Each structure stands twice: as structure tokens, then as C-alpha cells.
Amino acid sequence: MTDFFASIYEAALRLGGPGLFGVAFLDSSFVPLPEINDLLVVLMVMRNPVALPYYAAMATAGSVVGCYVLYVLARRGGATFLQRRMSSSRGQKVLAHYQRYGLLALMVPALLPPPAPFKIFVLLAGAAGISPLRFIGGVAAARFLRYIVLGWLAVRYGDAGLELMRTRGPMVAAVAITVILAGGLAFWWMRRRSS
């Protein structure tokens, strides 16, 4: 870790839940702090397993507030954002697809561990005009589930789980991404067949 990341990490550990909120907010808005939030959840829960729901809630709240900042910016300048990133015909297709499956397209990446990209989906939700309540509810549900499961794994597997995260994090993330995407595609295919 660089000195900057290490100082944020140490400060958040000392602060506990509020530090976790701050790191989650920064990571979800403008300052990418890869994997620090997940490591903090794991370490804090390992120190105090009874506080798992509290730490999951603080990480979730910080993430939701940070994501909401990006969402509002994208909602105000959605058309401009899409025009800069892609051709108008492709942008319209992406927008239409996102408006139809927006909540699912938002929740699946919100569940994924780093290094899975998530901010682009937040920006697309704003540009597509997903309602604020649906946006907040979707991000909150997915993130809370992610942090609860992560905390439970930390309690269940302890130091071995932390070491696995440090040494094999990208591989675990790739497997999780594959499983969740396969589930999302299966859900989409079943829904399409029933229509």
C-alpha cells in the first residue's frame, strides 16, 4: 500500500464504523480505494464478530451516499455523459437496455468484489433516469448483502480467509463475477422466455 492508502486505512481502523463509512464514501464517489473497504470490513468483524451488522450497515451507508453523488451528477448531465463515451445510436441502445433492466444491471455489479468496475453502472443509472428510490434501494440491498456475506466469511474462516483475500483476491473476484453474471443471464433468459 502506498503511504496515502496506508494512512487512510489506519485512520479508518482507529475510527471503527465511522471510518468505514468514510472509506466507503470515498471509494464509491471520487477517490478509488481498491480493496481497502473490504479489508476493513474483514478486520473489524474479526476483532468484534458481534458487530457484523453494524459494520455492514456503515460500509453500505457510505457506499450508497458516495454512489448517490455520482448518480446525481450523471442524472443532471446524462445525455452529455453518454455522447462523450459512445456514438449516439449505441448510446440510445445502452440507455434503452439500462432503462429496461437497470436495477438488475446495477445490483449485480454492486455485489461483485474489487476489481470489478462499478462506477460506470452508477453513472449509467443516473443517465438512464432510474428513480432515486429504486437506485438507493438497489445499491443498499446489494452492498449490504455483499458486506454481510464478506463479514460472515471473515468470522467463519478467520485469518485463512484474510490471507486468501490478500493472495488470491483477483482470482476469487473473477470466479464471483462469472457466477453472478451466469445467474444474471439465466434470470434474463428465463424472463425473456416467459414473455
Start-end of H helices in the chain: 3-15, 17-28, 36-47, 52-76, 78-85, 88-111, 119-128, 132-194
Domain chopping of the chain, boundaries: 3-194
174 pLDDT band (50/70/90 cuts)? Answer: low
Q: In degrees to the nearest 10, what's the CA dihedral of 172, 174, 177, 181?
A: -130
Strand, helix or coil for residue 114: coil
Instruction: Dump pLDDT digits (tens) for 143-158.
Output: 999 899 888 888 888 7
Nearest to 38, CA basis, from 138, 162, 179, 142: 162
pLDDT above 90 covers what percent of the chain? 26
pLDDT of 21 reads: 95
Summarize pLDDT for 91-138 with one digit per residue, the tens.
666 667 666 766 777 887 787 777 677 888 888 888 888 889 999 999
Q: What's the pTM value of the predicted model, to 2 decimals?
A: 0.78
CB 125 within 8 A of CB 73: no
Q: Does the pLDDT of residue 1 top 60, yes or no?
A: no
